[in-house]
Chain A
Amino acid sequence: MFRRERSIPLRGSAAALCNNLSVLQLPVRNLTHFGVVHGPSAQLLSAAPEGVPLAQRQLQAKEGAGVSPPLITQVHWCVLPFRVLLVLTSHRGIQMYESDGSVMVYWHALDAGDASLVQAVFARGIAASGHFICVGMWSGRVLVFDIPAKGSNIVLSEELAGHQTPVTDIATEPAQGQLDCKPLENRDCIADVVTADDSGLLCVWRSGPEFKLLTRIPGFGVPCPSVQLWQGTIAAGYGNGQVRLYEASTGTLHVQIDAHARAICALDLAPELLSAAEDTFVHIWKLSRSPEGGYVEVEHCHGECVPDTQVCGARFCDPSGSSFAVTGYDLAEILRFSSM
């Protein structure tokens, strides 16, 4: 059972985007950072354990040519081996900051290039894998940036071609997760990056100086706005309210949940699975490995209705999954829940 905790007020309401909440847990400093996109600006704030807001900062999308101010599509903290960077994607480009948002260390302008007149140009989908940061594009391409241990000498290392439609989300295997993994014979096959797009297609990659495409999981006519990867299991949320769990290395479907009545907008995974959708519901699911076949099984733990709120972001706030936070369209606060 979960109970509502004190909400954290936001300066601006959350925009109707998917994956519109990023959480950076800093247990050593007893702090949690939250990032929410409002529109042309994003708000970062840090809070103490009871949800007391301590500091906040607003970041703007870097201007460029165009009639209206550019809109931000996503804000996300990337935890790398030696540093944490905050990445902001917009309709103009990719901005990377030090983790508190104080200093911009890198700017990559989008090249509209061969986008037709009717295509919207934007970057969307952010994840860190080792010392790389992957960012998705409207064209389906995924840019891979090589991040140094410190400083701003960030280099575009590779451009992955796997998708034909706009990238929606990218997920990577968290570094700690791999330690608990069953040992795998062939290092080459460890899937540690998953990219998703508007057509529902998932691409599974192995990261490295050269990324390798391991397998593709086709869509079925609806977008896949949110994807997660943990201990070899891919969790994907779809526009028709379904959540599907796949074996990352093979792409085999293991679980299909008719989870929500509207499009899924956010997932989080570690160790429980959190799904949030535009139907106002947030569900928590327990994942386990079946004793016989070793494949993943799911059990529903808890459902929470956020009345009259089109949820647009949801994340766990601690590593055990005993608390989570939710954002909603038009809502100028971050809702918090913790287990009793």
Chain B
Amino acid sequence: MSVRTLPLLFLNLGGEMLYILDQRLRAQNIPGDKARKVLNDIISTMFNRKFMEELFKPQELYSKKALRTVYDRLAHASIMRLNQASMDKLYDLMTMAFKYQVLLCPRPKDVLLVTFNHLDAIKGFIQDSPTILHQVDETFQQLTETYGGLSAGEFQLIRQTLLIFFQDLHIRVSIFLKDKVQNSNGRFVLPVSGPLPWGTKVPGLIRTFNNKGEEVRKAEFKHGGSYVAAPKEGSFELYGDRVLKLGTNMYSVNRPVETHMSGASENLAAQTQESIAPNPLAKEELNLLARLIGGMEIKKPSGPEPGFRLNLFTTDEEEEQAALTRPEELSYEVINIQAAQDQQTNEELARIMGEFEILDQPRRSASKGDDLLAMMDEL
């Protein structure tokens, strides 16, 4: 599929993550300066130049597992800690939100406007930090350079690539259910009314021409929907009215956000079959992943600044309960890269891997390759 999809996927998911974290920080009454520090640290890590360089290289999309590892790292880029259950819920919300946005984009190209909406909001979080603001603006520039000249066909391929990534995810999100944008079976509502994509005419007209190109007949038909032409095209400039609301912060109003796990995922057979099938190329993906994360300059929590734990649920008991009842098929096992026995790792990789938390006991086995693959089997 398209090899230009990763930046869009990463930035939009990252944007959703920040919306959710911002809402939870306020809901949990974390002191303003601490909350700001967390968001600043995460945003500064996300938009780090070296990281962006790696991200924008033409490459295929990572697997869901691999991508989840990146966000795990990102969420812990500051003094904040998240338990597994909260991290799972965070990732569920992020992915379902962006899936919704991609699906509802009127034109494939509008996914760029969704990305700009996220960046505009991110700039709002870091208004007091000119350095980070500059980083975000540079990323904006890079987005314009990479995507500004793409054709409608290339955007269609990007859209298809994103939808294939999100295929079969039907987690029910309570804020979506309440707003009636998602059905109780987990599928999103596709409205048959409202503004049309920029460049599409209101359906209903049949025009007939003769051999000379003159219109000889005009007829109407009932198309079944209730559409209106788009008022104007959204702006692709650094500043401008995006027109599209997709990608703006839907958590501005302080509402608790729950996800429902039961009965959410249909086609579990197909889904789990793909995730447990041994992937002989896992090592290559892990290397790419390590290189990507290597670009993230994670600051170690320093000095007297005490860390704190953020809870995506309303109470600690709820969080514990969620961890216990999460269906097996929906568990996102984070990739643990075991560096201890690696003899071929270069210095850079070793440094990065050293920062990963090793959650499982190291397994004794003959070769590094086996170790990595064995660990993948456990996922």
What is A's interface to B at a CB cutoff of 8 Å? Answer: 11-13, 15-17, 38-40, 66-69, 71, 91, 117-120, 122, 165-166, 168, 197-199, 221-223, 225, 239-242, 247, 250, 252-263, 279-281, 283, 290, 293, 295, 297-300, 303, 305, 307-310, 329-330, 332
| A223-B187 Cα distance, complex, nearest whole Å | 27
Count of B interface residues, CB-CB < 8 Å: 66
Contact indicator B211/A256 (Cβ below 8 Å): no
Residues of A with C-beta under 8 A to B208: 254-255, 290, 295, 297-298
Residues of B with C-beta under 8 A to A309: 190
| A299-B156 Cα distance, complex, nearest whole Å | 30
A18 to chain B, nearest CB (A): 8
Which among B60, B167, B207 is the interface contact of A330 at CB below 8 angstroms?
B167
Contact indicator A198/B153 (Cβ below 8 Å): yes
17 new A-B contacts, CB < 8 A, other than A68-B61, A225-B156, A308-B189, are: A15-B167, A39-B167, A67-B285, A69-B279, A71-B164, A120-B3, A122-B1, A166-B153, A198-B152, A223-B151, A223-B152, A239-B152, A239-B156, A240-B200, A260-B223, A262-B106, A329-B167
Q: Which residue of A lies closest to B225 (CB)?
A: A261
What is B's interface to A at a CB cutoff of 8 Å? Answer: 1-4, 58-63, 103, 106, 108, 151-154, 156-157, 159-160, 163-164, 167-168, 170, 183, 187-190, 192, 196-197, 199-211, 213, 217, 219, 221-225, 227, 266-267, 269-270, 274, 279, 281, 284-285, 288
Q: Which residue of A lies closest to B196 (CB)?
A: A261
B250 to chain A, nearest CB (A): 19
Contact indicator B270/A13 (Cβ below 8 Å): yes
Contact indicator B211/A252 (Cβ below 8 Å): yes
Contact indicator B151/A261 (Cβ below 8 Å): no
Contact indicator B274/A40 (Cβ below 8 Å): yes
Which among B108, B152, B197 is the interface contact of A221 at CB below 8 angstroms?
B152
| A17-B164 Cα distance, complex, nearest whole Å | 9
Contact indicator B3/A71 (Cβ below 8 Å): no
> What's the A-B contact tally at a CB cutoff of 8 Å?
182
Q: Which residue of A lies closest to B281 (CB)?
A: A67
Chain B: interface secondary structure? Answer: loop
CB within 8 Å for A305 and B192 given contacts A255-B209, A329-B167: yes
Contact indicator A261/B203 (Cβ below 8 Å): yes
| A15-B167 Cα distance, complex, nearest whole Å | 7
Residues of B with C-beta under 8 A to A39: 164, 167, 274
Contact indicator B3/A258 (Cβ below 8 Å): no
Provide a sorted-by-A list of 28 A–B residue pairs whose CB atoms are within 8 angstroms.
Answer: A11-B267, A12-B267, A16-B164, A39-B274, A67-B60, A67-B281, A118-B3, A120-B157, A165-B151, A168-B153, A198-B151, A198-B152, A241-B200, A241-B203, A254-B209, A254-B210, A255-B208, A256-B209, A257-B205, A258-B201, A263-B108, A279-B190, A281-B224, A303-B224, A305-B192, A307-B190, A308-B183, A332-B270
Which of B63, B151, B154, B223 has the most CB atoms of chain A within a 10 A radius of its CB? B223
Residues of B with C-beta under 8 A to A71: 1, 164
Contact indicator B103/A310 (Cβ below 8 Å): yes
| A262-B194 Cα distance, complex, nearest whole Å | 12
Closest 3 CB pairs of A and B: A198-B153, A300-B221, A16-B163
A286 to chain B, nearest CB (A): 11
Contact indicator A295/B210 (Cβ below 8 Å): yes
Which among A165, A222, A300 is the interface contact of B206 at CB below 8 angstroms?
A300
A332 to chain B, nearest CB (A): 5
